Amino acid sequence: MRRRLSRPAVAAPPWSGTGPGARRLRFWPAAVVAAVVALAGALLVPTAQAAIACRITYTVASQWDGGFGANVSVNNLGDPVNGWRLTWSFPAGQTVTQLWNGSFTQSGSQVTVTNADYNGTLASGASASFGFNGAWTGSNPVPTSFALNGVTCSGSANPSPSPSPSGPNPSPSPSPSPSPSPSPQPQTGLVGWATQGGGTTGGGNASPTTVNSLSALTSALSSGSAAVIRVSGTINCSGMLKVTSNKSVIGNSGAAIVGCGLNVTNASNVIIRNLTFRNWDDDAINVQYSTRVWIDHNSLSNGYDGAIDVKRASDYVTVSWNRVSSHDKTMLLGHSDDNGAEDRGHLRVTYHHNYFDGTNQRHPRVRFGNPVHVFNNYYRNNGGYGVASTEGAGVLVECNYFENVADPYHLGEASSGPGTLVARNNQKVNSGAGQTGGSVATIPYSYTCDTPSQVNSIVSAGAGAGKINI
């Protein structure tokens, strides 16, 4: 924290990003990565003519050996619902291991998810979303039938008399809309390094506590128990507020932390989502001596030092769907050249779908971590540089969109010696060639690269606070 460096020019070595340590990507077919399942129903209540009708979107956001992450959207097409229960059966013995934005039970193959206390009311046409991580063996086919409050969903407000798919009419899936949609929904679940080491669930299914004052927020963050902390309104503060283990810190609509930042130190299993940070006087989010941290869908601007810094042997971190603007030093990974004894073998971080909008440098600036994964980010009008790999770090830079960035990535930075960097499948518009060299360790998790030429529209539409239902 509070470290400023200036960067001299760096000479570019020859490119050699396909060495023996370079990995092969596993791309999962689109049929596995996303599926929209529509089934049907209407329920007439004898005295009120109330009808339930619904559409369910079930998306596999990421998949790895034995595990996967999924997002589910419940769209109410019928009369208003006050309290919902969604049920389905897994076709191949899959299990839910952790879930957010709701609670779940599972008996055999049947899963039941009920709403959280803040997303149980669905007006006609409204939606609620939840996500989960699961386990599978053999195969991971998507469920084909869902029921909302006991009524099978059809994707239509009109009851469908033919739930059986055995007939010749192929109408059950009439919406094969092409996947290059600007909606970021396919990868809003947890992806990347924070899925490793046991995964990241934050406060899990703890009953949410809403805070709207500095004293209430400070108390909730320091609790020794697992907690889901919902921040409401604007909280003004200074310095750094310590975040302890097993916490989900989630902003309600419009929530902002102004003047200070969150310090995740000596902690594990922390989620920070949907918050706006402004005018912090140190770092906005600092992670040190901590593991299994997910920083997602935040907006950050006009601060003093780092927007999101990760340092001091921290590990298993995902930084996703954040928007940073009007700021200089954005994301530092590894704080000092002389901290290698502590940091080597750690500092494994995934940066994906972040929007670096007119920021200057450190997107990220990396020391020691290998492999660090930088994919599907949108770089726009960055005055200094995009990515720097230094001090023996190994960084994979792929499927990003660079627009008006003269120096998209390079090796070494200021007094820091070079690391290695492999770049592939990046889209560059009015941007420099970049500098690469060496090889990078294998990425252990599965993920999906969006089409690089579409990343600017996907990320600008979906990054930042207020761009996700939480």
C-alpha 296/C-alpha 298 separation (Å) is 6
Q: List phi, psi (to 5°) of 372.
A: -105, 135
C-alpha 36/C-alpha 75 separation (Å) is 12
What integer pLDDT is reported at residue 29 of this predicted model? 43
* pLDDT tens for each residue of the chain, 470 residues long: 444 444 443 333 333 333 333 333 333 443 333 444 443 343 333 334 458 889 999 988 667 667 787 888 898 998 998 999 999 999 999 999 877 778 999 999 999 999 987 688 888 888 888 878 788 888 999 999 999 999 999 875 543 333 333 333 333 333 333 333 333 344 568 999 999 999 999 999 999 999 999 999 999 999 999 999 999 999 999 999 999 999 999 999 999 999 999 999 999 999 999 999 999 999 999 999 999 999 999 999 999 999 999 999 999 999 999 999 999 999 999 999 999 999 999 999 999 999 999 999 999 999 999 999 999 999 999 999 999 999 999 999 999 999 999 999 999 999 999 999 999 999 999 999 999 999 999 999 999 999 999 999 999 999 999 998 88
Which residue numbers are catalytic? 362
Contact 337, 367 (CB under 8 A): yes
Is residue 392 situated within a structural domain? yes
First-to-last C-alpha distance (Å) of the chain: 30
Across 266-391, where does the E strand assignment appear?
A: 268-273, 276-278, 285-288, 291-296, 299-301, 308-311, 315-320, 323-325, 332-333, 349-352, 355-357, 365-367, 372-375, 378-380, 387-390
Residues 311 and 400 in one domain: yes
- What is the span of the domain harbouring residue 204? 185-462
3-state secondary structure of 380: strand
Into how many domains does the chain fold?
Answer: 2
Q: List phi, psi (to 5°) of 373.
A: -115, 120
Which residue in this structure is represented by tokens 């020391």?
367
Is residue 6 situated within a structural domain? no
Is residue 321 situated within a structural domain? yes
Of the residues 133, 152, 171, the one at which a domain ends = 152
Of the residues 135, 152, 169, the one at which a domain ends = 152
Q: Which residues pair with 54 in a beta bridge?
A: 76
Is residue 229 situated within a structural domain? yes
What integer pLDDT is reported at residue 334 of this predicted model? 98
> What sign does the dihedral 444-289-96-99 (CA atoms) show?
negative
CATH of the domain at 375: 2.160.20.10
Residues 87 and 213 in one domain: no
Residues 287 and 389 in one domain: yes
Taking Cα atoms as reference points, which of 402, 397, 349, 407 lies closest to residue 375? 397
CA distances, 2 to each of 28, 228, 367 (Å): 42, 30, 17
Residues 148 and 253 in one domain: no
Q: Which residues pair with 75 in a beta bridge?
A: 55, 127
Contact 137, 90 (CB under 8 A): no
Q: List phi, psi (to 5°) of 303.
A: -105, 180
3-state secondary structure of 145: coil
Residues 255 and 373 in one domain: yes
Residues 399 and 290 in one domain: yes
Contact 237, 215 (CB under 8 A): no
How many C-beta atoms surround the C-beta of residue 453 within 10 A?
A: 12
